A and B are shown apart, each in its own frame.
Chain A
Amino acid sequence: MEKQKRPVFLNLWQIRFPITAIMSILHRLTGVLLFLAIPFFIYALQASLYSESGFQTVIHYADSALIKITLLFLTWSLLHHLLAGVRYLLLDIDLGIERQQAKLTAWLVIILALGLLLVFAGACL
């Protein structure tokens, strides 16, 4: 394929970010984080299924502060990624496509993800 010389500017330190862009970059960032977290969850699944003691170990580790904080961070990642993803699916079918609506829903995604995280944190800690 022939290389097209179209202007591409992706320097993250120089682009000015509207709220929709912040929501979008968080969607990517959380996606990459969740991608990297996959083996840890599979490992926990393995340990929890192979033996009684493994099952207890997973529960024991899930109770430690460091793991809890990590899990809450990943929970936020999942919440943000999921909500932003739903927003994109709705945009795909032309819902919320107007600029004002798009800005509003971007705020909604960010705030709702943090709000739900607080609910989870309150339930877990």
Chain B
Amino acid sequence: MSDVERFLAMGGYARFVWPAYALWAAVIAGNVWSAWRALDRARTRALRRLAARAAESPDGSRA
């Protein structure tokens, strides 16, 4: 058994160890993606609001 194969086999416990690590990677990736998306979306919306307000004031249509 080569070293790589031995590593992947995890002493026979591969079907427990690797899913655990996969879940961990998924949770971290999910959290990072979710946080990034929240910030990105909030920033876009805030910029849009600012642009809308800047467009209104020169017209003087809103105080």
Is B a genuine binding partner of A?
Answer: no
The interface of chain A, by Cβ under 8 A from chain B, is none
